Structure 1
């Protein structure tokens, strides 16, 4: 008998990220990780926060999560529509070391970030992306999706492992999301 994939988790801009993270963790404990469906920058931001929190919940069970961005029909440049396909891994699984950090801002061009990320990966350098704020986090996720498409002819694919970090900016401490990138050969 074939095992069914879990139902995708719908995420909205108003979603309670801890509740979504709890649902993701519960689903992962029962089997495979669900996908998350998001439309718009704020929804994407909420989904990434939920993945980051779910990683913490699952660490107690010896598991970790990554995601891959895939574009969905119906999205526009102003309101992108994506699926975050999550995968469950054993805690401490070997991830590609990140030597370089790329700051992505709310006004960063997604194609510019994608081109830089893909070029570095082709050179054997695997950067991590950091975004502060919903639009910057969304730009990171979109750049990851475009980079996946750009690397496909090279026989490469990427996945991201998001985590919360604190950064010093303008004399204060801000919360940010850091995306550790892992490269897979396809």
Structure 2
């Protein structure tokens, strides 16, 4: 599965374009985020990507999940979005 890492500084339009392109070739993409700002940018990107793929007949949905990671030796909790495509 392809993985996109999104931060607070990520541009939602750029992430949406990358997400849409990956979903044209893959059934699902994982979007990893740490922090409220990053999840905000990721959710905006998923909403924008829906508009990018709708004209070619794809519908997107996402499943959020927690994941435990370690940064600089410290355990942290991140949120990942599993974004999948569904053809009507």
Range class of TM-score, shorter chain: 0.7 to 0.9
Count of aligned pairs between the two proteins: 81
Per-residue deviation, 1:55: 0.3
1:24 and 1:49 map into 2 onto residues whose CA distance is 12
Aligned to 1:34, the other structure's residue is in SS state strand
Task: Flag structure 2 segments of 5+ consecutive residues without an equivalent.
Answer: 69-75
Alignment match, 1:49:
44
- Does 1 or 2 have the higher relative contact order (CA < 8 Å, sep 6+)? 2
Q: Which runs of 4+ in 1 moved over 4 A?
A: none
Aligned to 2:9, the other structure's residue is in SS state coil
Which of 64, 76, 82 matches 1:85?
82
Alignment match, 1:107:
none
- Normalising by structure 1, we get a TM-score of 0.42
Aligned to 1:8, the other structure's residue is in SS state strand
Q: In terms of Rg, which structure is larger? A: 1
Aligned to 1:19, the other structure's residue is in SS state helix
Q: Does residue 7 of structure 2 align to residue 12 of structure 1?
A: yes
Asked if 2 retains the 8 angstrom alpha-carbon contact of 1:64 and 1:89, the reply is yes
1:33 and 1:68 map into 2 onto residues whose CA distance is 11
1:85 and 1:59 map into 2 onto residues whose CA distance is 18
Per-residue deviation, 1:12: 0.4
2:38 and 2:59 map into 1 onto residues whose CA distance is 22
Alignment match, 1:174:
none
Alignment match, 2:60:
65
Q: Does residue 29 of structure 2 align to residue 34 of structure 1?
A: yes
